[in-house]
A and B are shown apart, each in its own frame.
With several copies, the nearest count.
Chain A
């Protein structure tokens, strides 16, 4: 069991996983999002390589209406 902190909320996962898998886990596949891991951007091109491991802080954002 590992814990990821996603958008400020702790979440359990059976094991470390690729960002890409995490994104699909979260039903965000195909959505326009951006991911930051421990303060660093994870480029889309790297979602297939970069692993999210226990204790990682992740920010996953979208564009919303704003002025």
Chain B
């Protein structure tokens, strides 16, 4: 498939995945392999002081040498918390500066707070981060985030973890038409067809976590999502037929019928 370029780096997979909500690291790794994902999001959390230091860690299961880590700011409701969290992430990952910024509005909806998001994006971009930013499907805000210098804009399809799919394809279409940086649908995908629809709109990639980790068979769903993203991308490149609300058009010749 045609490659995806984010901040000058080339990726062959257009499916980005989260690493949360899995049964264990083995399942996490198996699902991510089945998804063929190259970029994986991780959260930054306090060490549990006193816990067994020898228990396996995410970094053992997903060696940073094999995957591009995308530390996020999940759980942050202010620009300041998000900025602090990503500075810790950069230190943690030896200066790795590709990050996912998300500043949420409230814990019930997890809908983005776009004002705080804009504020944090400005600071982080100035501070040298390569910011992939989670936002609403507001096309004006999406453009402002690009203008600030974010390397990818990631509008939601629907609420995080809702599995409702793409609620407003029209807004996404405007965003896709207007932005030059990659547009990645993030949050809300529930099943394979949702991912295909996102790609058919012309999105550059899809990011998901719950749709895979929460499926009855996460590894099989990961494979489904890989194929769906590729199918949607290829369909977009192939140029679908126009919709015809009425007059049907036969697929077989209309002449040469017997007894006619």
Q: Name the A residues within 8 Å of B88 (CB-CB).
A: 34, 36, 41, 59, 61
**Which of A28, A44, A60, A65 has the most B CB atoms < 10 Å from its CB?**
A65
Most B-side CB within 10 Å, residue of A7, A11, A26, A66? A66
Query: Does B256 reach chain A (CB closer than 8 Å)?
Result: yes
**Residues in chain B near residue A11, CB distance under 8 A:** 49
A39: interface (CB < 8 Å): yes
User: In the complex, what residue of chain A is closest to B207 when comparing beta carbons?
Assistant: A67
Q: Assess whether A66 is in contact with B19, with CB atoms less than 8 Å apart.
A: yes
Complex contacts, A60 vs chain B, CB 8 Å: 46-47, 49
Number of A-B contacts (CB under 8 A): 124
| Complex partner residue of A67 from B47, B69, B72, CB under 8 angstroms | B72
Contact bitstring B26-66, A, C-beta under 8 A = 1, else 0: 00100000000000011111110110010001110000000
Question: Are the C-beta atoms of A28 and B47 separated by less than 8 Å?
Answer: yes
Contacts of A41 on B, CB cut-off 8 Å?
A: 87-88, 91
Q: Does B210 contact A (CB under 8 A)?
A: yes
| Alpha-carbon gap, A5 to B208, bound state (A) | 36
Taken together as a complex, chains A and B put the C-alpha atoms of A57 and B41 apart, in Å, by 28
Task: Report chain B residues within 8 Å CB of A27.
Answer: 50, 53
Interface size class of chain A, counting residues whose CB lies under 8 Å from the partner chain: 20 to 34
Give, as a whole number of angstroms, the nearest-CB distance from A44 to chain B: 7
Which partner residue on chain B sits nearest A42 by CB separation? B91
Structural contact, B46 and A67, CB atoms closer than 8 A: no
Task: Report chain B residues within 8 Å CB of A61.
Answer: 44-47, 88-89, 92, 258
Given A8-B260, A66-B41: A33 and B251 interface contact (C-beta under 8 Å): no
Tell whether, in the assembled complex, residue B91 and residue A9 are in contact, meaning their CB atoms are under 8 Å apart.
no
Known: A66-B19, A67-B209. A36 touches B89 (CB 8 A): no
The chain B residues found within 8 Å of chain A, CB to CB, are 17-22, 25, 28, 41-47, 49-50, 53, 57-59, 69, 71-72, 74, 84, 87-89, 91-93, 160, 208-210, 213, 250-253, 256, 258-260
Given contacts A63-B93, A64-B253, A67-B19, 10 further A-B contacts (CB under 8 A): A32-B92, A34-B44, A41-B88, A61-B44, A65-B22, A66-B41, A66-B42, A66-B252, A67-B72, A67-B213
